[in-house]
Amino acid sequence: MSAKAVSKGILSVGGWAMAKLATSALVLPVLARYLGIEAYGQYAYYLAVLLLAAQCANVGMMQTMTRRIAERPDDAGWCRAVARSGALINGTGVLLVGLTAGWVIWSTASQGIGGGSIALVVVGVLMLDQAWFYARGVLHGFRYEERAAVPGIVGVLIAGLLAILAAMNGLGVVGVFAGLLLADLYVAIACLRAVRDALKEGSVARTAQPSPPTTRSLLRFGLSAMVFSVLNMALCSLDIILVRHLAGEAQAGLYAAAVQWSQFVWFIPIAVEGVMLQATARFWAEGKVDEVTRLVSRLTRYVMLGTVFLLLLVFVLADHIVAIYFGPQFRDATLGLRLLVPGALCYALARVFWPVIQAGGGGSQLIRVMGIAVLLDVALCVILIPWSGAAGAACATSLSFASVAIGYAWTLRSRRVHPFNGCAASRLLGLVLATGLAVAGLSALVTPPMLAVPAGVFGGLLLYWGGVFALGLVQVDELGLLVQNLPGVFRHRGETMFRVLAPWLLRLRAPASNEEARVGDAR
């Protein structure tokens, strides 16, 4: 997979992830204020059930179709057979899981909310979400990530607008999910039309090709992918469900608020995750482990640098962020937010690692590590939530996320892949401490929270990224190559910005290089 193809995929998936997180950042404080803590906890609970059910209903077909179609994207018969079999398996999963999820939601509905209404709306969202999952599987296999991403971005914006209108007009949790249902309907129609067009584009007569994969073979791979996806989603969703049942809806609302901001930074690793399987599969097949290390270590470094910066701001400015974003009634979410930050960083790195392991045929190792992490999370939640509520759940989740990153890094090392080559951990740690102190000082000097946050962000932005280049964590020439690999209009805009910034970045690096030379001479 070429560098430009990787860049295009990252931009497409990253654009959708960023739009989703940015829209959530704007919408959730409105929902929290208009719904109240308890109703917001209900919303978070039903959303967690929906996310968990979606992975089971998909039966791993999104990953399976991407992998199988990408093997022979020019073979029309092959691609159509994969799409038909995937639709059959996915449709069966939707039927079975939809009935089960509907019964669970109806039987556990809180007082004051219609069990039948919320069950119907959530199951409807589940069904339409699966149409988008199916379309992503096909379109990503053809490497048309943008054809799935653009409708997804529009759908996110529509869902956010309708959710705000529903909450402001007193329609409650059911109204919020009804808005999501309408947005998903648009996304499903647009993406299924894109699938139809993509399959038609491959209709040119071809030479003889191998027989298409059978439904049984697709199901075999899909079940393995589904188990991993379910465990992954369970790790991200079971905590909010356990908080709701063990500590009440108010604590669930506080925990949901903390989770929202700790995971806001994941648009960076999600974008990289979306292309890592395709980007490393060929290297694994050809035995080029050094190439796998080179690609993974470089992208791990980029993800780490970007994620650390954003999480550092969240950690230092947590008090102000919660007060501005959710309101004073959510001030108790601050501790949980800070406890989640280390785990959020670890899970961001794990998102880079697991598609690489999957590409190398390590599906059983993925499942084993994730399964252990889920068991650890549940055990810690059961112990800590009754004792300290949302903060206990945050501690349990953070430790569980760390176990996943450690397990996957160890798995890669055992296969002679070194994901942390070139990360310069000691220099990065020093930069983080210096930036954190500076941000805390700047925010303390400015009294109003509305001004303290931008002051801290601006100061941290200059100091951190200036330090990144001054310390050589990213080379200026390396940034230039990244800009050259951007697609189309992004490259032209990037080149313009790079020409302006490059002289300043080189000046930052020069003093550091001179200091390194003096140290070397002294030795």
**Tell me: the pLDDT tens digits for 405-428?**
999 999 999 999 999 998 888 999
* Same domain flag for 463 and 501: yes
Do 24 and 135 fall into the same domain? yes
pLDDT of residue 244: 84
Give the pLDDT score at 517: 42
Is there a domain that residue 139 lies in? yes
pLDDT at 343: 95
Sequence-distant (≥ 6) Cβ neighbours of residue 404 within 8 angstroms: 235, 346, 347, 350, 369, 370, 373
Task: Compute how many other C-beta atoms are within 10 angstroms of the C-beta atom of residue 339.
Answer: 23
- The CA distance from 404 to 311, in Å, is 19
Residue 249 included in any domain? no
Name the domain boundary from 171, 186, 202.
Answer: 202
Q: Within a domain: residue 239?
A: no
Number of domains in the chain: 3
For residues 310 and 264, the answer to whether their CB atoms sit within 8 Å is: yes
| Secondary structure (H, E, C), 484-517 | HCCCHHHHHHHHHHHHHHHHHHHHHHHHHHHHHH
Q: Within a domain: residue 476?
A: yes
What is the CA 375 to chain-centroid distance, rounded?
A: 22
> Mean pLDDT across the chain, nearest whole number?
85
Tell me, yes or no, whether 398 and 446 share the same domain: no
Indicate whether 237 belongs to any domain.
no
Looking at the domain assignment, is residue 336 inside a domain?
Answer: yes
> Which carries the bigger pLDDT value, residue 131 or residue 288?
131
Which amino acid would we find at residue 193? R
Q: How far apart are CA 82 and CA 75, in angstroms?
A: 11
Q: In the structure, what pLDDT confidence band is assigned to residue 516 with cuts at 50, 70 and 90?
A: very low
Q: Which of 4, 12, 484, 1 is nearest to 271 (CA)?
A: 12
Are residues 377 and 434 both part of a single domain? no
487 confidence band (pLDDT: 50, 70, 90):
low
pLDDT grade, residue 380 (50/70/90)?
A: very high
* Same domain membership, residue 366 and residue 325: yes
Whether the predicted pLDDT of 460 surpasses 90 = yes
Co-location of 405 and 448 in the same domain: no
CA distance 163 to 446: 34
Distance, CA of 12 to chain centre? 13
**Hey, how many other C-beta atoms are within 10 angstroms of the C-beta on 458?**
12
Q: Which of 185, 202, 219 is the last residue of a domain?
A: 202
Is residue 215 domain-resident?
no
User: What are the tens digits of pLDDT across the range 176-226?
Assistant: 999 999 999 999 999 999 999 998 875 444 455 567 777 787 888 788 888
Checking if the pLDDT of 492 tops 80, the result is no
Structural domain containing residue 376: 255-423
Question: Rounded to the nearest 5°, which phi and psi values hold at 74?
Answer: -95, -5
Q: Are residues 273 and 410 in the same domain?
A: yes
127: closest CA among 98, 85, 161?
Answer: 98
Pair 496, 394 in one domain: no
Evaluate if residue 519 carries a pLDDT over 90: no
pTM: predicted TM-score of the whole model, two decimal places: 0.76
| Helix axes 115-141 and 145-168, enclosed angle (nearest 10) | 160
Is 85 within a domain? yes
Q: Which is nearest to 55 in space by CA: 94, 86, 95, 85?
A: 94
8 Å CB contact between 105 and 70: no
Last residue of a domain, one of 377, 406, 423: 423
Give yes or no for residue 310 having a pLDDT over 80.
Answer: yes
User: Residue 214: its pLDDT value, please?
Assistant: 77
Co-location of 385 and 490 in the same domain: no
Q: For 314-373, how does the pLDDT look when each residue is reduced to its tens digit (9 = 90+)?
A: 999 998 888 887 888 888 889 999 999 999 999 999 999 988 888 787 778 899 999 999
Which of the residue ranges 83-87, 272-276, 299-303 would you say has the lowest mean pLDDT? Answer: 272-276
Taking the C-alpha atoms of residue 157 and residue 198, their distance in angstroms, rounded to an integer, is: 25
Q: Do 478 and 349 lie in a common domain? A: no
- 280 and 373 inside one domain: yes
pLDDT band at 511 (very low <50, low <70, confident <90, very high): low
286 vs 486, more confident:
286
The predicted-structure confidence for 31-84, as pLDDT tens digits, reads as follows 888 888 788 888 888 888 888 888 889 998 988 888 778 777 788 888 899 999
Comparing CA positions, the residue from 89, 375, 343 lying closest to residue 231 is 375
Band of residue 521 on the pLDDT scale cut at 50, 70, 90? very low
Residues 27 and 87 in one domain: yes
Taking residues 449-455, report their average pLDDT. Answer: 87
CA distance 83 to 245: 40
Average of per-residue pLDDT across 10-37:
83
DSSP state of 329: G
User: What percent of the chain is predicted at pLDDT more than 70?
Assistant: 90
